[in-house]
Chain A
Amino acid sequence: MTAVTDAPDPDAAHPANGLDDVVHQRVRLGILTIAHEARRVEFGYLRTQLELTAGNLSKHLSVLEEAALIDVEKGYEGKRGRTWITLTGAGRTALAAEIDRLKQLISRVETVSHPDASPHPTEDR
């Protein structure tokens, strides 16, 4: 006799397998989120919101730029240098995929922890 269960198969493709190391990181996810919401964002705004040093933020930006997820544009406003960050098409896709996987992970963790409970509905970002 074969038992049928609604519990997820732990060997099935786990959402964590699809996580992108470049995006699945608190600061870099924050940069992508802000750039997505703002359309373009200045270096100083990111530094303030993410509470980072300039050097640390630059390292994260380099990782994202190398992965072609953001465009970095340097210029001047008067005598003051300004660096603007814009999300690329690949960046938008990567951000959407990351958010989807996070939602799947949360849903999966809840289903495994409480097999009888139905998963919580996910909110839109």
Chain B
Amino acid sequence: MTTDSVPIGGDPRRLLSDARALARRVRLDQRLTWVALLVLAVTTLVAIPFDVVGMWVRCHPDGSCEFARNGMLFYWIPALPIAYAVIAVSYLRAARARGLGTHIRPYAITGAVTTVVLPAAWVGLRLYLAHHAVPEGPLPYWWFALDRLVMPWSMIGIALLVLAWLERNVALLLFTVVYLALVVLVLPLNTGYGPPQWGLRWNYALPQLAVAAVLLLGAAGFRAAARRRRQP
């Protein structure tokens, strides 16, 4: 192996391409995407009993019911920062075991933003609705989508979007786009879904179960891909 300087002329392109390949290799070795998805899936699963048990419900003789998902509110506000902290520590430990450091600050900023700012908007919306009547008649679809956008499952999606950007992880970006489309446009996370005999509480559990299943499937897929890449 030579220690001489590489001569100029023809080689700059190779030097640059080698440097890019090394940087990419480091980024691949720092990734722990499946752990992030697994932690978020478990956090979502644990939220379900909190939502079911913590839901305040009062049904009237005419069959209509009032309810408030207090359990969800009290669970997610501490659960999100704890989940992000677990993910950050896992990234640090895995990178260290491989002989690398990792950039923790962007994760911390993302965690802080999605933990504080957006749930604050969510709480603000709840407070607004507590003092203002919901408009009569069927609500427009965008109202439901906007409501879902400030819910914890969308916060998870936004955090994953930032993670994909930081890691330049195209596969995670595609996964997150599909995930966000599901939680904002498809799954009835704010209206519930299920047979009437299940009752109001369990109707809200089903869409959350679907979110956890998607995250778990993603974790399994990224784990399989990471194992395949590390095999000699």
Chain A residues, Cβ within 8 Å of B99: 41-46
Asked whether, in the complex, the Cβ of A38 is within 8 Å of the Cβ of B16, the reply is: no
Chain A residues, Cβ within 8 Å of B93: none
Identify the stretch in B25-33, B119-127, B146-154, B209-217 within 8 Å (CB) of chain A at 4 or more residues.
Answer: B25-33
Chain A residues, Cβ within 8 Å of B9: 109
Asked whether, in the complex, the Cβ of A49 is within 8 Å of the Cβ of B23, the reply is: no
Asked whether, in the complex, the Cβ of B100 is within 8 Å of the Cβ of A41, the reply is: yes
Asked whether, in the complex, the Cβ of B100 is within 8 Å of the Cβ of A40, the reply is: yes
Chain A residues, Cβ within 8 Å of B3: 25, 27, 56, 59-60
Asked whether, in the complex, the Cβ of A16 is within 8 Å of the Cβ of B8, the reply is: yes
Q: Which of A10-31 contact B (CB under 8 A)?
A: 16, 19, 21, 24-27, 29-30
Interface size class of A (residues with CB under 8 A): 35 or more
- Report if A72 contacts B (CB, 8 A): no
Chain B residues, Cβ within 8 Å of A45: 29, 98-100
Chain A residues, Cβ within 8 Å of B6: 24-26
A104 to chain B, nearest CB (A): 9
B residues in contact (CB < 8 Å) with A: 1, 3-6, 8-10, 12-13, 15-16, 18-20, 22-23, 25-27, 29-30, 95, 98-103
